Amino acid sequence: MKSFETFSQLHEGPTPLLLGNIWDVNSAKIFERAGYKAIGTSSQAVAASQGYEDGEKMPFDALLQLARRIVNSVDIPFTVDIEGGYSRSAAGIIEHIEQLHDAGVVGINLEDTIAGTSRTLQPVPVFQKTLCSVADHLCRKNLKMFVNIRTDGFLLGMPTALTESLGRISSFEEAGANGIFVPCITEVNDIKAVVNATDLPVNVMCMPSLPNFSDLKALGVKRISIGPFVYSYVDKKAVEAVSTIIESDNFSFLFN
């Protein structure tokens, strides 16, 4: 497994890091063979592949076990989406991060929302305090972990998403984040404003109207995530395949 330093450097190059979001060992190997420089779990894809709903419904121990298997199966940096940290306390989140670090994971995604019957943004002072505790602990223990902080104003469709995101990004940079992830942001001027608001590498995610990679590079984006969308595409094709078997009354199409 490549190192934290390698993963960090992938956020500093002239070309954005295209992160392959995986859901099991086989998908991790597929992305590695295709030439991706780093991979990370998609919480939604991992949960769905294991029969769980997204939003920390999959047990953390199951996620940790999967992380260990992936670390032992690929040679590229691997980061894990831990959603809200699988705990509502800084101590619990730190414990989970330490376990992932010891497994060989080089980065995490941590969200500023709490998933429940509806997803809600945590107050900035509350999440900033948690992030400070996490960053201070990693520093004191010399644990190398790329902490990518996801802020969900655009994901939630807030009318004030840009203003909300800019204020949060400043607080999270101050608290010790290594990167900023703004899923569902797509407008060029919004992306430009976010990139200009921080010295941290900015991460965006696959969306139908997301600018192409060369435009994102020109805007200064440093990381592009696939999210759950390759998994969803593969799942859709599987549904089509098993239906076609019944409709065609044979298996011949599987070998075309």
What backbone torsions phi and psi does residue 140 show, to the nearest 5 degrees?
-65, -35
Q: At residue 19, does pLDDT exceed 90?
A: yes
pTM of the model: 0.95
Residue 161's alpha-carbon distances to 87, 182, 197, in angstroms, are 26, 10, 14
CATH code for the domain of 62: 3.20.20.60
pLDDT digits (tens, 9 = 90+) for 50-67: 999 999 999 999 999 999
Two structure tokens written together for 246: 């019944």
Task: Tell me the mean pLDDT in the region 167-184.
Answer: 97
Q: What does the pLDDT read at residue 252?
A: 94
Q: At residue 1, does pLDDT exceed 60?
A: no
> In a 10 Å sphere around its CB, with 0-12 CB exposed, 13-18 middle and 19+ buried, how is residue 199 labelled?
exposed
Two structure tokens written together for 184: 């569902």
Give the side-chain half-sphere CA count within 13 A for 2. 18
Local confidence band at 216 (pLDDT 50, 70, 90 cut-offs): very high
Q: Which residue has the tokens 């840009």?
A: 162
Q: Say whether 78 sits in a helix, a strand or coil.
A: strand
Local confidence band at 256 (pLDDT 50, 70, 90 cut-offs): confident
Q: At residue 110, does pLDDT exceed 50?
A: yes
Cα angle for residues 152, 155, 156 (degrees, 5° grid): 85
Share of the chain above pLDDT 90, in %: 96
Q: What does the pLDDT read at residue 204?
A: 98
For residue 75, the enclosing domain spans: 4-255
Q: What does the pLDDT read at residue 2?
A: 63
Q: At residue 161, does pLDDT exceed 90?
A: yes
Q: At residue 39, does pLDDT exceed 90?
A: yes
Query: What letter does residue 210 receive in the DSSP assignment?
Result: P
Q: What does the pLDDT read at residue 118?
A: 81
Q: At residue 227, does pLDDT exceed 50?
A: yes
Task: Tell me the mean pLDDT in the region 159-167.
Answer: 97
Number of structural domains in the chain: 1
Q: Which residue has the tokens 């709903």?
A: 53
- CA–CA separation, 80 vs 244, rounded Å? 35
